[in-house]
Amino acid sequence: MKRVYIVTAITCLALFAAFLGLFKYLNLSRGKEHVKVGFIYDNDESTPYTYNFSLAKDALEKEYGDRVEILTSSNVIDEEIEAPLRNLADQQCDIIFFNGYSEKVVELAPEYPGIQFCQTSYRDMTGLVGQLPSNYHTFKGEAYQGRYVSGIAAGYKIRQLIQDGVITEDQAKVGFVAAFSTSEVISGYTAFLLGVRSVVPTAVMEVSYTNTWSSYPQEKRSAQKMIEDGCVVISQHTDTIGPAIACEEAFVNRPVYFVGYNQTMSEVAPAASLVTSRICWEPYVLQVVDAVMKEQEIESLVSAKIVGTDAFAGFEKGWVELTDLNEQAVAPGTQEALSEVVERFRDGEDDFVFRGSYVGVDPENPSDTLNLQNGYIENETTSYPTFHYLLSDIITVVE
């Protein structure tokens, strides 16, 4: 009888071990233990936009450690992306992220069906749903939300300057250093101004286009010119610290404040910097890698609004955030005001930003106008911003 017990026990242990081995095999067969990820940057990490995007790479390394091998290629302009893209593909990357936009990515994706190609959207992809390669994906945070909220911080500061007698109400003027006249840029600076005007209804804006994404001297000169024109707060949608430096240098003679984008500016403009808004790329990148590791469809594991293979979200999913609030510079009550509006976005409100007694005009087609009395919902069906109307009564474009 004792021998029977021993044989039974051994048999049970053997079956249990076999079960564990089978479970481990099946579990591993459903996913990847290691993935290779490529990052292509349009600049290098010394520029705010690319630095901000590289934080997603850092988060990936922290989350997965040696389970992820990361390859990078920097200073790649859109027109020259084919060679570095093929180089990463030929090194058998499982995923390739690009922080710019190039049609070449769409063209090459079908040649590498085993690789997932993910690039930030620089055009409205809504009309192409179902026509794009299944391994091609676009993504972007809803930047207008951060622009609007950071505009409120600027508005509080301007109101304080008016109350202290530093400026008058008709001197409530902000400046914006802009790269190009695209809907992405126009949407951002309009949301910023409307945030300012929610606090100071008399505020107006001066916009200067640099016609380049990254030129420190040109961006700084544009900011300096706007400061000379009487702007008391400057913001930007360009890639260098030039505008922040211009504000900090001007601060020696008179108060000129700065609102940042992508990267904290308190180190280079400690007196002038108020707050920074940024798109957080980390959630998307981490969720994409998780999906590829689990060998599941990317959009099934990305927590965001999804249209086809296009993903977008705002404060509610952590895709947009405010950083670097300068308590020494902002006006009293700023933090509370910002938190209140952020909560509105987190609760799903999205129709109060582009709304008011304004009429917008398409700069490229003056016959195309939009009355904002009934509001305009940004990022309703696409990750790429679509608001492209100039509020000419309150926004002036200068050379």
Q: Which domains does the chain have, with CATH numbers?
A: 35-142+281-316 (3.40.50.2300), 143-278+318-398 (3.40.50.2300)
Say which DSSP state 207 is in: E
> Confidence class of residue 399 from pLDDT cuts 50, 70 and 90?
confident
User: In the chain, pLDDT over 70 holds for what percent of residues?
Assistant: 92
**Alpha-carbon gap, residue 102 to 120, rounded angstroms:** 9
Model pTM above 0.85 = yes
pLDDT at 15: 46
Distance CA 270, CA 247 (A): 10
pLDDT 10s digits, 319-356 = 999 999 999 999 999 999 999 999 999 999 999 999 99
Please tell me the distance from the alpha carbon of residue 206 to that of residue 131, in angstroms, as a whole number: 40
- CA–CA gap between residue 211 and residue 97 (Å, rounded): 25
- Under a CB-based contact definition with an 8 Å cutoff, are residues 387 and 186 in contact? yes
Dihedral pair phi/psi, residue 47, rounded to 5°: -95, 145
Q: What would the pLDDT profile of 279-312 be if each residue is shown by its tens digit?
A: 999 999 999 999 999 999 999 999 999 999 999 9
